[in-house]
Structure 1
């Protein structure tokens, strides 16, 4: 996953992306409550440009990976993207969300739709607090890797809002090797972790629950209102095979939505430092084009 990027490579990336625009590091407000579920507080880290702006900025929601069962908002990919985006004139919001937990006796808590419900709540929170955050709620993107890539893809292909409610759909998505069709039998894929991944999907959705499988598959929800997509994939991925993300790309293209599919043929599920740098730069370029960021100034 992108979170495997080495410290030297991450530093080089931030120097490359930050130095040309600002001598100051982004402002980071940590552990902001974006919602609650019972007594549980849902937390976010908000990355903002060091420079003040009279104009609302485009905003990107960052969602970490971890098989829907692990990870957090301070994962390496999210920290790198948050800093880089803030130094290119965006506000970035990295969230933690409810993770699937083994409750024993074959039962699990925080199964579907807990994770996507939290992500949608974050979208609504950003839009409803746009003035406070100084963001343009009509220019919202989302980026995530692995399970996070899956969740951001749902934010780009579905809208859970009823008439008169705040939209949960974003306008631009970067999916970094996130699965698109959870109705597929992973054990049929010729990858090393096929059985393990199928187990994670079963724990997330409930084994054999076809209704959840369809509801949780962004590829099956693509339509002419879907967001613009950038899909980044490793050709030797042993967790999410390239045909999964390629099928999402093909569905988007067929529906008339913009989608760019980039295959790093020699990388797996976890880009090496050089590819990670290229992927992060590509992501920033995509958001600048799709959300028309106003760069920070010295």
Structure 2
């Protein structure tokens, strides 16, 4: 899913943050956070350059790309990672298994591969909290598009059994990520309705109602769900605003904190001015929710 303008603007904002903040970020590339089918799952870890005597809050970053593309090195992810590290957070940007052709008409890495990897990343952060110098009780997650969908699942579900490491995060920023994949996208009055339905079918298996329900964060909201900030373009031609409005309403009805911001003149990929606002709002949300130590 296209996010060009949003990403370019975030890169520009990141450069500005680096120039204006006394605290700098350091990045450890290609850290192995798990394996899946013999494949290494890799993360980039963004940290403040200065040491801290206290464990820091941490935010997991999940890229978009229609569950079939994208990278932990995407410009927008890099900008958010650097911006958070400059404000006293540790940020962990991950790659996860992407849907791809497997020959003979088959599709590899369908549901639940992507969310399994995201949950493994949450476990890895918690189980390595001391090494990462983070607070395992203060984990946020942010993502755009398909990444917004996946972080929303991390905020509304927990697959851990008693005695196992929790896979739920405490605060979520969903940037135009869908909430209910049981809906028929071809019925939406948007330009890319057929194309998006095709992505969903490849991701979940065409007509697989069980997977559609399991992969729909809106349907899993309860009073244990995370607090949310949802950012959406009013003219989005890939994920209609009604998708996030329903998620926001479900969260509020469950007694969870949820703020929905709709930028009426933006689509799926914010313009430069909106992207700046979105980045500032994202960092402020995590500072409030996770109580980051903010450098002078």
TM-score range, shorter chain: over 0.9
Q: CA RMSD in A?
A: 1.3
Q: Separation in 2 of the partners of 1:97 and 1:106?
A: 22
Kindly state the Cα deviation for residue 16 of structure 1 after the two structures are TM-superposed: 4.5
**Partners of 1:225 and 1:167 in 2: how far apart?**
12
Cα distance in 1 for partners of 2:185, 2:200 equals 9
Contact 2:11 2:75 in 1 (8 A): no
Cα distance in 2 for residues equivalent to 1:20 and 1:60: 22
User: Counterparts of 1:133-148 in structure 2 under 5 Å?
Assistant: 133-148=132-147
Deviation (angstroms), 1:129: 0.3
Instruction: Give the Cα separation in 2 of the matches to 1:142 and 1:237.
Output: 22
Please report how far the alpha carbon of residue 173 of structure 1 lies from its aligned counterpart in structure 2 after TM superposition: 0.1
| SS of residue in 2 equivalent to 1:174 | strand
The DSSP-based 3-state class of the residue aligned with 1:141 is: strand
Q: Per-residue deviation at 1:50? A: 1.1
* 8 Å Cα contact 2:143/2:175 also seen in 1: yes
Structure 1, unaligned runs of 5 or more: none
How do residues 79-158 of structure 1 correspond to structure 2 at under 5 angstroms? 79-158=78-157
Aligned residues of 1:4 and 1:76 also touching (Cα < 8 A): no
Contact 1:49 1:296 (C-alpha < 8 Å) held by counterparts: no
- Partners of 1:161 and 1:53 in 2: CA distance: 30
Q: How does 1:171-186 map to 2 (within 5 A)?
A: 171-186=170-185
Aligned counterparts of 1:198 and 1:178: Cα–Cα separation in 2: 14
Aligned to 1:258: 257
Q: Counterpart in 2 of 1:14?
A: 14
Deviation at 1:104, TM superposition (A): 3.1
Number of aligned positions between the proteins: 295
Given the superposition, is the C-alpha separation of residues 12 and 74 from structure 1 closer, same or farther in structure 2, using an over 3 Å criterion?
closer
Structure 2 residues without counterparts, runs of 5 or longer:
none
1:34 corresponds in structure 2 to 33
SS at match of 2:140: strand
Asked if 2 retains the 8 angstrom alpha-carbon contact of 1:86 and 1:92, the reply is yes
Bigger mean CA deviation after superposition, 271-280 or 148-157: 271-280
Secondary structure, counterpart of 1:166 in structure 2:
coil
Residue 198 of structure 1 aligns to a residue whose secondary structure is helix
Partner of 2:248: 249
CA deviation after TM superposition for structure 1 residue 284, in Å:
0.3
CA distance in 2, matches of 1:173, 1:229: 5
Report the alpha carbon displacement of residue 223 of structure 1 after superposing the two structures with TM. 0.2
Shift of 1:20: 4.7
SS in 1 for 2:182: coil
Give the conservation status (yes or no) of the 8 Å contact 1:177–1:269: yes
1:227 match: 226
When the two structures are superposed, what TM-score results if normalisation uses the length of structure 1? 0.96
CA deviation string 1:45-86 (max 9, x = no partner): 000001110100000000000000000101122111000000
Measure how far apart 1:103 and its partner are: 1.7
Identify the residue that residue 4 of structure 1 maps to in structure 2.
5
Q: Distance in 1 between matches of 2:4 and 2:161?
A: 36
1:44 Cα deviation after fit: 0.1
The CA distance in 1 between the partners of 2:21 and 2:100, in whole Å, is 42
- How many angstroms does 1:107 deviate by? 1.3
Show the counterpart of 2:285. Answer: 286
**Hey, what's the Cα distance between the residues in 1 that align with 2:197 and 2:244?**
16
CA distance in 2, matches of 1:6, 1:241: 20
What's the secondary structure of 2:152's corresponding residue? helix
Q: Which stretches of structure 1, 4 residues or longer, exceed 2 Å deviation after superposition? A: 1-7, 9-12, 14-21
